């Protein structure tokens, strides 16, 4: 039996021997008194004989089995210790609940990176992106041709198609001529600042050999980022069949803002590129100039799309930059077919959201040094409290219920350690950049003893 100890087995064996001795004494007594009664002692019954034999055969086997099971229990690997967060595993920021000034039509989504989602607005259905699609074009280009800070990259020669498209009056384009060459960094400036459709298509042909092959790469990148409601059919976004959602574009914005080169370009209100007839200007320059924390990212507007904007901003709190990202789509100036009027509307509505979030962010002490923030469960009934080694400061907004999580820091939790040993970290928020502090054992943590190992189930 899995729960028997060697001592219990020994007592069982002695009991069996005592029973056998008593039965033999009774038979001896009957044999001795048989002459007095002129009757022979009755032989042992077949059942008793069989029982005796079974007892003699099975007793050693039971003993052996108990020893084997006990040994197995003692030698089995211990379960991995697990962290358990104290309370409900969350911290709620005090103050009035923050209310995002959503646009009132279309759709929008926003988050503070490392803190959490600010929510979404409107129906999550794919709508035309217009030139916001160029963000994915730039992302795919730099995946295949990464640039370091300060690097210009390969030189790209303008082909006849891009030069011809430079004269198209019905779309956004950059005035380039066949045979000119520009660095990759300069091409990305022309793509993202004045939003050149001809530059988007030129980059696609340069990277993948054809626009069709490049579009395939754009859609593959979208799937990798979890942008399941997004479909790209062209690299510029001019086609109304290039569609996405605000929530999907936030996924892309988060990745784009990790890239130093793209982050540098999208926050440029203007730029001088040698070889162009004049300075190029950003359609988002009023955010970049008017809001000290404005970071871009990309505007878009057309009849089918209305006004669209992928945006980013920051606010520095306690010396640390907090990144705010969002996307606003399908915004329209009522009664107008003018793409520029739609663009004006989406910028005004997005800037209100940006400023509201910047104003709403507040710091808070989530836990204090020495607070018990959870425990280590050894899986066999043992629990050892863990404490924060310093104050955990985080940023949020009124009413935000921020998730708390204990992690092992990639090293795993030990089975035993002394009090004060750092065994992991307590984090608050979501995603990269969330705030965290180390946690340590409040008292010595001992490995499970023999009793716990022998009686473990499962």
Report the catalytic residues.
131, 134, 195
Q: The tokens of 422 are what? A: 């750092």
Whole-angstrom distance, CA of residue 225 vs CA of residue 21:
79
CA 1 to each of CA 4, 15, 57, 89: distance values in angstroms, whole numbers, following the listed order: 6, 17, 17, 40
- Edge-to-edge strands, sheet with 372-377: 82-85, 372-377, 383-388, 435-441, 422-428, 401-407, 90-92
DSSP string, 307-368: EEEEEEEEEEETTEEEEEEEEEEEE--TT---HHHHHHHHHHHHHHHHHHHHHH-EEEEEE-
What count of residues does the chain have?
458
**CA nearest neighbour of 354 among 129, 43, 13, 101:** 101
* Contact between residue 192 and residue 216 where contact means Cβ atoms under 8 Å apart: no
Close Cβ partners of 54 (under 8 Å, ≥ 6 residues apart): none
**CA nearest neighbour of 373 among 94, 80, 114, 84:** 84
Element (H, E) at 152: none
**Which 3 state secondary structure label does DSSP give 417?**
strand
Do the strands 181-183 and 155-157 form a parallel or antiparallel pair, or are they unpaired?
antiparallel
Element (H, E) at 434: none
Element (H, E) at 146: none
The conformation of residue 441, written as its DSSP 8-state character, comes to E
């Amino acid at each position: 039996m899995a729960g028997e100890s060697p001592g219990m087995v020994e007592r069982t064996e002695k009991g069996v021997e005592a029973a056998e001795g008593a039965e033999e004494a009774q038979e001896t007594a009957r044999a001795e008194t048989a002459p007095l009664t002129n009757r022979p002692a009755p032989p042992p019954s077949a059942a008793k004989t069989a029982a005796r034999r079974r007892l003699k055969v099975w007793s050693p086997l039971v003993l052996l089995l108990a020893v084997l099971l006990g040994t197995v229990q003692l030698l089995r690997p211990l379960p991995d210790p697990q962290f358990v967060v104290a309370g409900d595993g969350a911290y709620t920021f005090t103050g009035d609940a923050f209310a995002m000034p959503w646009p009132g039509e279309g759709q929008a989504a926003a988050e503070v990176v490392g803190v959490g989602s600010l929510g979404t607005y409107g129906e999550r259905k794919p709508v035309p992106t217009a030139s916001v699609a160029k963000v994915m074009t730039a992302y795919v280009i730099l995946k295949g041709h990464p640039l370091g800070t300060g690097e210009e990259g390969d030189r790209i020669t303008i082909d006849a198609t891009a030069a011809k498209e430079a004269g198209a009056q019905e779309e956004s384009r950059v005035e380039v001529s066949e045979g000119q060459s520009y660095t990759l960094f300069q091409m990305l400036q022309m793509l993202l600042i004045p939003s050149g459709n001809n530059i988007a298509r030129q980059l696609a042909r340069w990277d993948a050999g054809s626009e069709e092959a490049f579009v395939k790469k754009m859609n593959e990148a979208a799937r990798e980022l979890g942008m399941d409601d997004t479909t790209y059919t062209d690299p510029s976004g001019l086609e109304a069949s290039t569609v996405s959602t605000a929530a999907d574009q936030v996924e892309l914005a988060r990745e784009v803002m990790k890239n130093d080169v793209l982050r540098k370009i999208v926050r440029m209100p203007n730029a001088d590129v040698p070889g162009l007839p004049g300075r190029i200007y950003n359609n988002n320059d009023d955010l970049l100039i008017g809001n000290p924390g404005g970071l871009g990212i990309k505007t878009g507007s057309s009849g089918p799309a209305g006004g669209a904007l992928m945006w980013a901003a920051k606010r520095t709190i306690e010396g640390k930059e907090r990144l705010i990202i969002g996307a606003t789509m399908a915004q329209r100036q009522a009664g107008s077919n003018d793409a520029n009027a739609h663009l004006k509307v989406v910028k005004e509505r997005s800037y209100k959201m940006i400023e509201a979030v910047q104003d709403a962010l507040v710091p808070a002490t989530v836990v204090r040094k020495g607070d018990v923030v959870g425990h280590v469960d050894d899986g066999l009934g043992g629990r050892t409290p863990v404490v924060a080694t310093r104050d955990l400061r985080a940023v949020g907004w009124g009413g935000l219920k921020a998730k708390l999580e204990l992690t092992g820091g990639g090293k795993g939790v030990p089975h035993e350690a002394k009090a004060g040993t750092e065994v992991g970290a307590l984090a608050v928020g979501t995603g990269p950049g969330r705030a965290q502090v180390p946690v340590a054992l409040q008292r010595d943590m001992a490995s499970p003893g023999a009793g716990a190992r022998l009686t473990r189930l499962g």
